[in-house]
Amino acid sequence: MVSLKDIAEKCNVSVATVSKAMNDQSDIGKDTKEKIRRAAEELGYLPNSAARMLKTKHSNNIGVLFTDKTNSGLAHEYFSSVLENLKSQAELRGYDITFISQNIGNQKMSYLEHCKYRNYDGVVIASVDYYDPMVLELVTSTLPVVTIDHVFNGKTAILSDNVGAVEELVKYIYQQGHRKLAFIHGEDTSVTQKRLASFYKTCMELGIEVPENYVLSALYHDAKSTAMATRRLLELPDPPTCIMLPDDFSAIGGMNVIEEKGLRIPEDISVAGFDGILLSQVLRPKLTTIKQDSVLIGHEAARHLIDWIENPKTYLASQVLIPGKLLAGQTVKCL
Amino acid sequence: MVSLKDIAEKCNVSVATVSKAMNDQSDIGKDTKEKIRRAAEELGYLPNSAARMLKTKHSNNIGVLFTDKTNSGLAHEYFSSVLENLKSQAELRGYDITFISQNIGNQKMSYLEHCKYRNYDGVVIASVDYYDPMVLELVTSTLPVVTIDHVFNGKTAILSDNVGAVEELVKYIYQQGHRKLAFIHGEDTSVTQKRLASFYKTCMELGIEVPENYVLSALYHDAKSTAMATRRLLELPDPPTCIMLPDDFSAIGGMNVIEEKGLRIPEDISVAGFDGILLSQVLRPKLTTIKQDSVLIGHEAARHLIDWIENPKTYLASQVLIPGKLLAGQTVKCL
DNA sequence: ATTGATATCTTAAACGTTTACGAAATAATA
DNA sequence: TATTATTTCGTAAACGTTTAAGATATCAAT
């Protein structure tokens, strides 16, 4: 490996001069800078991140914590899209992305310890168990942390506007004439709580009564459990005219049940999804859903984190609300 | 940060002793080892990866090259699953995973340069343009490299058995009585070429003639283009009785077209997918497809790469064929 | 008692950078 | 001309490890 020393010898200058020349410091003459840069080019010089990291204490590397404990994680199109865009934006700003894990070499360590070991400049957390003590340890550290769809005190959070989205969706369904609205939600998370609260609140504002048995629990990204919940709704003595399903993928489970019962969507019963993944726009009938802006969410996560990293003194942690967008498909009938 | 030096002072030994104790070297006494370990624990010692990397030249870090140039990439369930399982297996073996990009800090660099800069111990490549000069540069380097679904000389490749899979699928369809088999393939890649060749070969062996207009080109993971291709097939004077579609997701496009034409699957026409993603098992009718074992592929990629990294002298690059599995659904009718 | 082997620890250099500080040369100012 | 400022470069230490080589002490064997 060719190092600064090799360049220094070739140019008859000191190593310090070479270092400063490569970093474009102001105290090196213009012509020597030229000379050094040319020599570096010729020799095929590449800086050594380890040495640099050892001195400067920063790594140009951000850690991401994604887990797949639930059936979400990387397999979920929403999160993989967030990750993809986080990655591309980070790359533009000159940062690498590596997954935070729990052991390196043969040494077990906590998430935070991993971050310190690798000298990550910052961390983004998404799709994890936010009540895991190890996650807690991480977010209570002094590292710049941005979380997605969950807020922690003193850290910035990028939040898909679930409250606004559900409100918009409910109002849209109301406008189509529906008054008997059911809601199947996913497992209990802060996101679920927001959606559910927004559902109740909007219904109340619109003067819709929501029978207790119109609200059921299923699992995100799980066709089977929403199929079961949907069946329960259909067998009700007074079934709803429209069902809001946990997400676009699990919606398929619900739609299957409906069609197996000989009912037609949306003529006999309406449904709506959530997420706005590619799938939703390809299904027939096209799914009415809310598109979560995973592209912007990924970008903003990277942007905020790197702003924080690079201006730790002036950066103010905040909550960034990313609006969703109603995709009116064909699954909600106008009564 | 607490370093070896701090421990050394506390224990009245030299830094070297501490280092060797922590690395469980044989030339340190049992009781001093104990003492040092305890002190390390008490002080909350964490090794510094940068310093370690600087000396040892290895990083316990592997680079992965995934791109999203096509509409595949991370958004594709197959690849995200491969990545997920690559990640989990690498973690078990004590390696971190970071994405290979093209610029760090404000410095543009090639993939290979990135790898050298970060001292990656090895690289896995998947879902990229394998003819990109920068990719070529990477695979012709001396780094341990394992590629997925593409083979390079001297490197190990983890290959989903596309040839065997297509053969199995075609034979299955043949057994169901079909003789007029159409094939819509994705964009031209080595995977596509294998599938296509296997399709032709198997058909020939079975004595099936394949009219030229039964083989059409579309795009992977793109419902619209396969919809178009499917339409072309349906409008043929002598249409096929079964259509093999590029993959499970794009299959939806084809199935939509068929149903829009008033035809029923599989009563009027049969279809088959490829990939075996979750979606395929949730569609109604359930899709007949080939499941690519993305879990094993991810695991094997990690296993081979790390074996290579840890035994560079004895490791022999090879090609690992991972069999697929026929998932017989309901979309291929028994004639 | 001398030698050699073994076990345990230390010394010191090295990895490739960055950076505070100082030195020398040159230019500007009084 | 003498002084001060400016520009440009070098010295040397530091970051936290690892490791070859050496040192010391212990112990067994001759």
The three-point CA angle B171-B173-B179 to 5° equals 95
Q: How many CB atoms lie within 10 A of CB A330?
A: 14
**Residue B111 in contact with partner chain A when CB distance is under 8 A:** no
- Check pLDDT > 60 for residue A70: no
Residues B171-229 pLDDT 10s: 999 999 999 999 999 999 999 999 999 999 999 999 999 999 999 999 999 999 999 99
Average pLDDT for B16-41 = 96
- Check pLDDT > 90 for residue A290: yes
The three-point CA angle A153-A156-A159 to 5° equals 105
Instruction: Tell me what pLDDT residue A68 has.
Output: 63
Instruction: Give the rounded percent of residues in chain B with a pLDDT score beyond 70.
Output: 98
Note whether A47 contacts B97, CB cutoff 8 Å.
no
B75 closest CB neighbour out of A49, A77, A106: A77
Q: Which of B71, B89, B278, B287 to mutate to test the interface with A (most CBs of A within 10 A)?
A: B278
Residue A241 — pLDDT band, cuts 50, 70, 90? very high
B94 closest CB neighbour out of A95, A104, A279: A104
Residue A77 — pLDDT band, cuts 50, 70, 90? confident
Instruction: Tell me what pLDDT residue B108 has.
Output: 86
Please state the separation of Cα B139 from the chain's center in Å.
16
Minimum distance, in Å, between the CA of residue A115 and any CA atom of chain B: 10
- Check pLDDT > 60 for residue A277: yes
Residues A120-179 pLDDT 10s: 999 999 988 888 999 999 999 999 999 999 999 999 999 999 999 999 999 999 999 999
State residue A188 phi and psi, 5-degree precision: -70, 110
Instruction: Tell me what pLDDT residue A252 has.
Output: 97
Instruction: Tell me what pLDDT residue A44 has.
Output: 95
Residue A33 CA, nucleotide C26 C1', distance (Å): 19
Q: For chain A, give the mean pLDDT.
A: 95
Q: Which residues of chain A lie closer than 8 angstroms to B74, CB-CB?
A: 74, 80-81, 83-84, 87
Domains located in chain B, CATH noted: 4-47 (1.10.260.40), 61-160+295-324 (3.40.50.2300), 162-292 (3.40.50.2300)
A98 closest CB neighbour out of B1, B98, B283: B98
Do the Cβ atoms of A118 and A96 come closer than 8 Å?
Answer: no
Note whether B61 contacts A98, CB cutoff 8 Å.
yes
Residues A303-318 pLDDT 10s: 999 999 999 999 999 9
Do the Cβ atoms of A180 and A32 come closer than 8 Å?
Answer: no
Which residue stretches of chain A are H helix? Answer: 4-11, 15-22, 30-43, 49-56, 77-92, 111-118, 133-139, 162-175, 190-206, 223-234, 248-260, 294-310
Instruction: Give the rounded percent of residues in chain A with a pLDDT score beyond 70.
Output: 98
Residues B46-59 pLDDT 10s: 999 999 999 999 99
- Check pLDDT > 60 for residue B300: yes
Residues 6+ apart with CB under 8 A from B108: B102
Nucleotide nearest to B55 (CA to C1'): C15
Residues B103-141 pLDDT 10s: 877 778 999 999 999 999 999 999 888 889 999 999 999
Instruction: Tell me what pLDDT residue A161 has.
Output: 98
B223 closest CB neighbour out of A88, A105, A282: A282
* Minimum Cα–Cα distance from A98: chain B residue: B98
Instruction: Tell me what pLDDT residue A73 has.
Output: 63
Which positions 257-286 of A are in contact with B (Cβ < 8 Å)?
259-260, 278-279, 282-284
DSSP code, position A312: T
Instruction: Tell me what pLDDT residue B30 has.
Output: 93
Distance from C-alpha of B72 to C-alpha of B67, rounded to nearest angstrom? 8
Distance from C-alpha of B239 to C-alpha of A32, rounded to nearest angstrom? 74
Bridge pairing between strands A122-126 and A107-108? unpaired
Q: Is the CB of B36 under 7 A from strand C?
A: no
What is the DSSP secondary-structure string of B56-108?
HS--SEEEEEE--SSS-GGGSHHHHHHHHHHHHHHHHTT-EEEE--SEETTEE
CA atoms within 13 A on the CB side of A28: 20
Residues A245-270 pLDDT 10s: 999 999 999 999 999 999 999 999 99
Three-class SS string for B107-146? EECCHHHHHHHHCCCEEEEECCCCCCHHHHHHHCCCCCEE
Instruction: Tell me what pLDDT residue A260 has.
Output: 95
Residue A187 — pLDDT band, cuts 50, 70, 90? very high
Instruction: Tell me what pLDDT residue B72 has.
Output: 54
Question: CB within 7 A of strand D: which residues qualify?
Answer: A 12-17, 26-33, 51, 54-55; B 1, 3-5, 15-16, 19-20, 22-23, 27, 45-48, 51-52, 54-56
Distance from C-alpha of A143 to C-alpha of B205, rounded to nearest angstrom? 63
Residue A36 CA, nucleotide C24 C1', distance (Å): 21
Q: Where are the beta strands (DSSP E) in A100-161?
A: 103-104, 107-108, 122-126, 145-148, 156-160
Q: Which residues of chain A lie closer than 8 angstroms to B51, CB-CB?
A: 50, 54
